[in-house]
């Protein structure tokens, strides 16, 4: 099956710093990737749709200047949390469509961010 990886799996940073999270599709190309955030004991909330070679599409209420998304290649999308604050602490998960199966999203293992 499709495998999506994320790096790092967890990160702790100081308030005011920027953190980059990578999402990679392993052995397949992903023209579209999605970024979600999940607060403890809550569901996943879509943050943005990442399109290879073009600007990301952000959901309403998500600050595009704070959550920078770059989809520079068909196997890599990055999410940069700029000037992170404690309220940005969350579990960030990416997903991608796999090959001809454009019906199902395959999810990465997630990145836990803790901002002190």
Distance, in Å, from the CA atom of 24 to the CA atom of 3, rounded to the nearest integer, reads 9
Query: Pick from 21, 81, 93, 115: which binds other proteins (CB under 8 A)?
Result: 93
Indicate which single residue of 16, 29, 102, 116 sits in contact with other proteins (rule: CB under 8 A): 102
CA 12/CA 113 separation, integer angstroms: 6
Of 13-21, 63-71, 81-89, 90-98, the segment contacting other proteins by CB under 8 A is 90-98
For other proteins, which stretch binds (CB under 8 A), given 13-21, 60-68, 75-83, 87-95? 87-95
Nearer Cβ to other proteins (23/84): 23
Helix ranges (H only) for 1-116 are none
| CA angle at 116 for the pair 64 and 71, rounded to the nearest 5° | 30
The Cα 53–Cα 116 span in angstroms is 34
What is the β-pairing status of strands 3-7 and 19-26?
Answer: antiparallel
54 near other proteins, judged by CB under 8 A: no
Residues of this chain that interact with other proteins (CB under 8 A) are: 4, 6, 31-32, 34, 42-44, 46, 49, 51, 91, 93, 95, 97, 102-110, 112
């Amino acid at each position: 099956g499709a495998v999506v990886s994320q790096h790092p799996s967890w990160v702790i940073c100081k308030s005011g710093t920027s953190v980059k999270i990578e999402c990679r599709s392993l052995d397949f190309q992903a023209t579209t990737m999605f970024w979600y955030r999940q607060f403890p004991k809550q569901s996943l909330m879509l943050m943005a749709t990442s399109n290879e070679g073009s600007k990301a599409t952000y959901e309403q209420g998500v600050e595009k200047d704070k959550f920078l998304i770059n989809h520079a290649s068909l196997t890599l999308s990055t999410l940069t949390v700029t000037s992170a604050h404690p309220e940005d602490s969350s579990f960030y998960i990416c997903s991608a469509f796999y090959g001809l199966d454009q019906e199902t999203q395959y999810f990465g293992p997630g990145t836990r961010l803790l901002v002190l």
